[in-house]
Chain A
Amino acid sequence: MKKIAALSTLLILTSALAVAPKDTLVIQESADIPTMDPGVTYDTASGSITENLYETLLTYSGASLTKLEPLLSTKWTISNGGKTYTFDLRKNVKFHSGNAMTCADAEYSFERNLVTNSAESGNWFIAESLLGTGANANDDKTITWARIDKAVECNAAGQLIFNLPAVDPAFLAKLAYTGQSVIDSKYAIKLGEWSGKEADWKNWVGKDLTNSALSKAPSGTGAYKFVRKDANAFLATAFDGYWGKKPAIKNIVIQKVPELAARQQAFLRGDADMIEGAGRAVDEEQIKGKPGVMWVDNLPNTVASAFFMNENIKSTGLLGSGKLDGKGIPANFFKDSNVRRAFSYAFNYEQYIQDVQKGKGKQRTMLLPDTFPGYDAKVGTYSFDKAKATQYFQRAWGGQVWKNGFVMTANYRAGAVASQTAMEILKKNIESINPKFRVNIQAKPWSEMLAASKKGEEAMIIIGWAPDYADPDNFMYTFYSSNGYYFPRNNWKDAQVDKWLEQARNTVNTAERNRLYSLVGKKAYEQAPYILMPAGVNYLFTRDNITGVSASNYNPMISFAYTGTFWKELGKK
């Protein structure tokens, strides 16, 4: 008995020390960090690391999505009708390796992104600005070394100059993305990365940098310096040579804890300062209101999701008879705007907000986050209205839809409970309008759904888009242009909308762009190419001794979604 008592005492004493130390921020999450090389960073888990180890030329100012402020640059000027950008770089900036940052490092970083531009990376969008195409030299043979070399240069005064082939109003926002961070060129070359010269550029085209030498041993100018990463944890420490204000928290530890219950217990005991949650329903039940927990709600959400209604369904498997004979639908069923409007009126938005988003949801007027520039709150929204839906169904296809009825099949992403519920809500309402209407819904693996939808083979699916950079073009063009990424999924084409979107792409006049996007929004409301899903409201939670976390400095463009800030802005009481 004495032995047991002694052992218990020892255990209690030693485990008492386990509480997260004051100078260390402890985060527990389920997944690994895919890469630490900014050249291929294109996911939030990697982005939340690279954005703190590395720095970009400019960044978002506080919580703002429209105001950009200098970071590694001190100022910039735009000339040549919006096609030349000249950056003055910050002096006395050191990399973690001890090397001084020069303009050559910035030039190398951007050229490396343009040269490699691998499929896994987000470099397609900077390539669109600087080379006029999102492709790399393997896919587009017109891309030469001379074009890459000319796109970004240093002048004799040590300024960094970007030469754009055409005006791009989103260019500055694109530079704020962590994938466009400045890397330590001398150090990277020494590690065996691309030499920065024409001689070997072709060997690096399309190369996946996820597991690059630089990813294993990063060196940036950021406030935090990489210490070590193993199967269990990622460690970083405050960089003594940082040019800016010294961070308040010395160490960062990101532990990999796949099991939710273990993370929750560690958080509630104070062993972890932040943890990856499990969605609003679970987090509100398990975490909110517990002692020592800080809960921040009503935060902006920058994801836009919608039901896609394909106007040219290429898969015959989903069409039934393929005719409007009550046993199927024709491939161009959704071509008639009356069908699309009828579907839009048949979705119960309020019910979705209550059932799926626990009352924390918001209907948007456009497929653009409401915090983004260009969003027009005055554009109309559809609401659940059975009478109006009936009216439009009666008009559709010259009365054939109402008379004969239809059977269609919609797929949702297997395991996506929100999508499944949304589909069920729509199905129930449509089938209640006319007994001859039937909507079959079925689960499909994500990878198959992505591939099929890209080929235009899905009749109706729900997918979303998260921003690469805070510019409306990233959403509006993607969803509404017939040249946009999502076009093959719904085949909705409107010549006027295409024209407006191209115009908005080619002007730097903000008021004019806003006007154009508003016009697109209104036309889309009227034509109803999508059923807009209500946007969820974001929230976060941390231990209450963490400072620097609030709704006023939460920026949804920051990859570290636990606080929406860089680590250097956080403190610990």
Chain B
Amino acid sequence: MLNFIVRRLIQIPVVMLVLSLMIVGITQLLTPEQRAAPYIRSEQQAARLEQIIEQRGLRDPFPVQYGRWLSATLKGDLGYSKASSQDVITTIQERLPRTLELTFVTAIPILLLSIWLGTLSALHKDKLIDQILRVFVVLGYSLPSFVVGILLLAVFYAYLGWLPGAGQVSVLNTFALGELQRYTGLLTVDAALNGRWDIAWDALQHLILPAMTLLIVLSASIIKVMRNNMLEALTSDYVRTARAKGLSSRVVNNKHARRNALLSIVTLGGFLIIGLLSGSLITETIFAYPGVGQWVVQAAVGVDLAAVLGFAMLTAVIVVVVSTIVDILYGVIDPRVRFD
């Protein structure tokens, strides 16, 4: 097991190196003027385009530009992101815990709810509840997250006024954030640890709509897979044998059928968490939630190379770490899987 984990961790720098070579390589297809674009905010600055290109060494050959990036990165400097007006490292440090927080409040409900609903749907195949859930799945599949997000915002914030709008906390609490002692970077947790329950509650309220959006959009595929897996498991030989042994249907469904049906859900869950941690791009943008997703959207639009590279590195780490955890979980669920 340890060997397996170590092997996976060694992959991280290799993946990062290949990824960075690819990204820097692709950007060479852009002209120096295009790569200088993030540094220009007005016609007046455009007048200084040549100086900007010169200063940044944007006309240098690919190995020189890559070497410069690599040497800075090895010193822990991922460069300056124009999209966040901060260093890339500072940006990730500031934004990743927020995305992590959104992932926590989103991933667990999505997984639990989807597994439950998928099971329910399979157990009540073709009955009303199954029909309703299948409609929900189709809706979740077909509605883009920006439509769901804006719809929820329009109903629960603008029309009903039940939930707060965009942002992470209300204006009243914005100033108080500076006084909070930060322990984890997760605002709800830090606020609670500081005894500021009002801020924790406020932050939690701001998480509801983005979480609901993600839940509607992302749970559809898991419900569908869970339903199919359960249906398959319920008709398999070992379930028939378990039933023949006289086990109660509760035990058969939960212990035998569901456990086996969960295998591919673990894989899907891994993808879900990778996706959420890499930033829920559209949802974070709509709800002005200051996580990595919101930053990446702006970086991509503005050809912010330092940010794109930094984000790619971050994603590489997340993918390797999460898939390692998923593989370990595989072993836990299915004893036939061995690592050594």
A residues with CB within 8 A of B:
8, 11-12, 14-18, 20-21, 24, 26, 28, 31-35, 42-45, 118-120, 122, 124, 139, 206, 208, 210-211, 227-228, 230-233, 235, 237, 251, 253, 255-259, 261-263, 265-266, 268-269, 271, 445-448, 450-451, 454, 463-466, 468, 485
Scoring B residues 266 to 308 as 1 if CB is less than 8 Å from chain A, else 0, what string do you get? Answer: 0000000000000000000111101000110110000000000
B171–A18 CB distance below 8 A? yes
Chain B residues with CB under 8 Å of A118's CB are 55
A35-B85, A253-B171, A262-B288 as given contacts; A454 in contact with B49, CB under 8 Å: yes
Q: Is B141 an interface residue when CB atoms closer than 8 A count as contact?
A: no
* Stretch of B19-27, B76-84, B128-136, B242-250 lying at the A interface: B76-84
Scoring B residues 84 to 120 as 1 if CB is less than 8 Å from chain A, else 0, what string do you get? Answer: 1111000100110010000000000000000000000
A32–B201 CB distance below 8 A? no
Which residue of B46, B150, B171 has the most chain A CB atoms within 10 A of its CB atom? B171
Q: Give the nearest-CB partner of B42 in chain A.
A: A43
Report how far A285 CA is from B51 CA in the complex, Å: 43
Report how far A485 CA is from B288 CA in the complex, Å: 39
Contact among B51, B157, B290 with A119 in the assembled complex (CB-CB below 8 Å): B51
Chain A residues with CB under 8 Å of B85's CB are 32-35, 210-211
23 contacts between A and B (CB under 8 A): A14-B164, A15-B157, A24-B171, A32-B85, A42-B44, A45-B41, A120-B39, A208-B55, A211-B85, A231-B84, A253-B171, A257-B288, A258-B288, A259-B150, A259-B287, A262-B150, A262-B153, A265-B154, A265-B165, A448-B31, A450-B33, A454-B49, A466-B42
A261–B150 CB distance below 8 A? yes
Contact among A119, A210, A230 with B94 in the assembled complex (CB-CB below 8 Å): A230
A231–B161 CB distance below 8 A? no
Chain A residues with CB under 8 Å of B82's CB are 34
Q: Which 5 A-B pairs have the closest CB atoms?
A: A119-B51, A231-B290, A451-B33, A43-B41, A119-B48
B43–A463 CB distance below 8 A? yes
Report how far A454 CA is from B162 CA in the complex, Å: 54
Contact among B36, B45, B55 with A206 in the assembled complex (CB-CB below 8 Å): B55
Chain B residues with CB under 8 Å of A44's CB are 42
Which residue of A24, A43, A233, A463 has the most chain B CB atoms within 10 A of its CB atom? A233
Which residue of A33, A451, A485 has the most chain B CB atoms within 10 A of its CB atom? A451
A228–B177 CB distance below 8 A? yes
Report how far A207 CA is from B147 CA in the complex, Å: 44
Q: Give the nearest-CB partner of A445 in chain B.
A: B34
A235–B175 CB distance below 8 A? yes
A232–B34 CB distance below 8 A? no
A14–B48 CB distance below 8 A? no
Q: Give the total number of A-B pairs whose CB atoms are below 8 A apart.
A: 179
Shortest distance between the CB of B8 and any CB in chain A (Å): 31
Q: 15 additional contacts, CB 8 Å, given A15-B161, A228-B177, A465-B43?
A: A14-B164, A14-B202, A16-B161, A34-B41, A43-B42, A119-B51, A211-B80, A228-B178, A232-B174, A235-B174, A255-B166, A255-B174, A259-B166, A269-B158, A451-B33
Chain B residues with CB under 8 Å of A119's CB are 39, 45, 48, 51-52, 54-55
A253–B43 CB distance below 8 A? no
B45–A262 CB distance below 8 A? no
A259–B36 CB distance below 8 A? no
B52–A232 CB distance below 8 A? no
A232–B167 CB distance below 8 A? yes
B80–A450 CB distance below 8 A? no
B285–A258 CB distance below 8 A? yes
Q: List which B215-269 residues lie within 8 A (CB) of chain A.
A: none
Shortest distance between the CB of B50 and any CB in chain A (Å): 8
Which residue of B42, B51, B84, B85 has the most chain A CB atoms within 10 A of its CB atom? B85
Contact among B153, B165, B295 with A18 in the assembled complex (CB-CB below 8 Å): B165
Contact among B39, B163, B171, B285 with A21 in the assembled complex (CB-CB below 8 Å): B171
Chain A residues with CB under 8 Å of B40's CB are 447, 450
Chain A residues with CB under 8 Å of B178's CB are 227-228, 235
Chain A residues with CB under 8 Å of B12's CB are none
Q: Is B121 an interface residue when CB atoms closer than 8 A count as contact?
A: no
A448–B84 CB distance below 8 A? no
Q: Give the nearest-CB partner of B295 in chain A.
A: A231
A119-B48, A466-B42, A468-B44 as given contacts; A447 in contact with B171, CB under 8 Å: no
Chain B residues with CB under 8 Å of A468's CB are 44
Q: Is B10 an interface residue when CB atoms closer than 8 A count as contact?
A: no
Shortest distance between the CB of A56 and any CB in chain B (Å): 18
Chain B residues with CB under 8 Å of A124's CB are 48
Contact among B46, B168, B177, B205 with A450 in the assembled complex (CB-CB below 8 Å): B46
Q: Is B172 an interface residue when CB atoms closer than 8 A count as contact?
A: yes
A17-B170, A451-B33 as given contacts; A120 in contact with B42, CB under 8 Å: no
A120–B165 CB distance below 8 A? no
Chain A residues with CB under 8 Å of B167's CB are 232-233, 255, 257
Report how far A237 CA is from B175 CA in the complex, Å: 10
Report how far A26 CA is from B167 CA in the complex, Å: 13
Report how far A139 CA is from B286 CA in the complex, Å: 44
B36–A233 CB distance below 8 A? no
Contact among B83, B87, B165 with A262 in the assembled complex (CB-CB below 8 Å): B165
Chain B residues with CB under 8 Å of A466's CB are 42-44
B158–A26 CB distance below 8 A? no
Chain B residues with CB under 8 Å of A447's CB are 31, 33-34, 36-37, 40
Q: Give the nearest-CB partner of A26 in chain B.
A: B171
Q: Is B47 an interface residue when CB atoms closer than 8 A count as contact?
A: yes
Shortest distance between the CB of A503 and any CB in chain B (Å): 24
Chain A residues with CB under 8 Å of B172's CB are 17-18, 21
Report how far A118 CA is from B45 CA in the complex, Å: 10
Report how far A387 CA is from B170 CA in the complex, Å: 62
Report how far A253 CA is from B169 CA in the complex, Å: 12
A231–B166 CB distance below 8 A? no
Chain A residues with CB under 8 Å of B47's CB are 485
Q: Give the nearest-CB partner of A20 in chain B.
A: B171
Q: Give the nearest-CB partner of B282 in chain A.
A: A259
Chain A residues with CB under 8 Å of B31's CB are 447-448, 451
Report how far A211 CA is from B41 CA in the complex, Å: 15
A255-B167, A258-B294, A451-B33 as given contacts; A233 in contact with B285, CB under 8 Å: no
Report how far A372 CA is from B137 CA in the complex, Å: 61
A11-B163, A208-B55, A261-B153 as given contacts; A446 in contact with B44, CB under 8 Å: no
Contact among A17, A24, A231 with B95 in the assembled complex (CB-CB below 8 Å): A231
Q: Give the nearest-CB partner of A228 in chain B.
A: B178
Shortest distance between the CB of B92 and any CB in chain A (Å): 11
A211–B86 CB distance below 8 A? yes
B286–A233 CB distance below 8 A? no
B43–A11 CB distance below 8 A? no
Shortest distance between the CB of A291 and any CB in chain B (Å): 13
A232–B290 CB distance below 8 A? yes
Report how far A454 CA is from B51 CA in the complex, Å: 13
Contact among A42, A230, A255 with B45 in the assembled complex (CB-CB below 8 Å): A42
Report how far A228 CA is from B182 CA in the complex, Å: 15
Report how far A20 CA is from B54 CA in the complex, Å: 46
Chain B residues with CB under 8 Å of A26's CB are 171
A12-B162, A119-B52, A451-B31 as given contacts; A233 in contact with B174, CB under 8 Å: yes
Report how far A255 CA is from B154 CA in the complex, Å: 19
Chain B residues with CB under 8 Å of A45's CB are 41
B51–A15 CB distance below 8 A? no
B87–A211 CB distance below 8 A? yes
B34–A18 CB distance below 8 A? no
Report how far A271 CA is from B170 CA in the complex, Å: 9
Shortest distance between the CB of B39 and any CB in chain A (Å): 6
Chain B residues with CB under 8 Å of A266's CB are 165-166
Report how far A465 CA is from B47 CA in the complex, Å: 11
